[in-house]
Structure 1
Amino acid sequence: MIQAADIREWRTHDVIDPGGHKIGTFEAVYVDTSTDEPAMASVQVGLPTRHHLVFVPLNDAIVGPGYVKVAYDKALVKKCPPIGTDDVLPAAEEAAIFEHYNLAYQPGANGERQLARR
């Protein structure tokens, strides 16, 4: 399992899919608010003049020297609902990201967000 203490070292690492294809650059990690464990990464993708961020789950991710290998194919990740590079993930859009990956979305008992940026 990926340890939250290592997160700062991942910034600017390449994010690659299971086949070794570069998806983009690791930007930030989002933890599950109920467990405080890393759950999703935001990945900077796009052309140099038109970057945006997409999200990818960190379940089964592997960290190597200079890369984070995720368990999802590049094509699937790039079709994830994006946000701007200076934006924050709106709470109302969290469910769409989980749905994109066919993952269960479970906000807190009082409607709290499931993800928090670290």
Structure 2
Amino acid sequence: MIQAADIREWRDCDVVDPKGNKIGALEAVYVATDTDQPAMVTVRTGLPTRQRLVFAPVDDAILGPDYVKIPYEKGVVKKAPWIGTDDVLPAEQEEAVFHHYGMSYQPGPNGGRQLARR
């Protein structure tokens, strides 16, 4: 499992799919609010003038010297829920991110957010 202490090293690394296809650059890491362990990342995709941040889970991710390999194909990730590069994921849209990847969703402690940006 990837450790939370490694988070600072991930920023700007390439995010690649199982075949090694580059999806984009890692922008931010989101941790699960109940465990403080990495759960999702945002990946910067698009043209330099029209970039967006798509969400991808990091369960079973593999860290390389300058990349993070996730177990989802590039096409699946690019169709994931996204936000603008200066935006924040609204709490009511968290569930859509989990459902896109076939994951179950449980609100965080006391019915709050499940994800927190680090």
Alignment RMSD (CA, Å) = 0.7
Give the count of matched residue pairs. Answer: 118
For 2:10 and 2:102, locate their aligned partners in 1 and report how far apart those are by CA, in whole Å: 25
Report if the CA contact (8 A) 2:34-2:109 is conserved.
no
Q: Is residue 41 of structure 2 the alignment partner of residue 45 of structure 1?
A: no
What letter is aligned with 2:28? A
What letter is aligned with 2:94? E
For 2:68 and 2:79, locate their aligned partners in 1 and report how far apart those are by CA, in whole Å: 19
> Equivalent residue for 2:21?
21
Report if the CA contact (8 A) 2:13-2:68 is conserved.
yes
Q: Secondary structure at the match of 2:84?
A: coil
Taking structure 1 as the reference length, what is the TM-score of the superposition? Answer: 0.98
Q: Is residue 67 of structure 2 the alignment partner of residue 67 of structure 1?
A: yes
Q: Provide structure 1 residue ranges, at least 5 long, that are not aligned to the other structure.
A: none
> Equivalent residue for 1:76?
76
Taking structure 2 as the reference length, what is the TM-score of the superposition? Answer: 0.98
Distance 1:92 1:62, change over 3 A: same
Query: Runs ≥4 in structure 1, deviation > 6 angstroms?
Result: none
Residue 111 of structure 1: how far off its partner (Å): 1.4
What letter is aligned with 1:87? D
Cα displacement string for residues 12-37 of structure 1 (whole angstroms, at most 9, x for unaligned residues): 10000000000000001000111111
Report if the CA contact (8 A) 2:14-2:68 is conserved.
yes
Cα displacement string for residues 24-61 of structure 1 (whole angstroms, at most 9, x for unaligned residues): 00001000111111000010000111000000000000
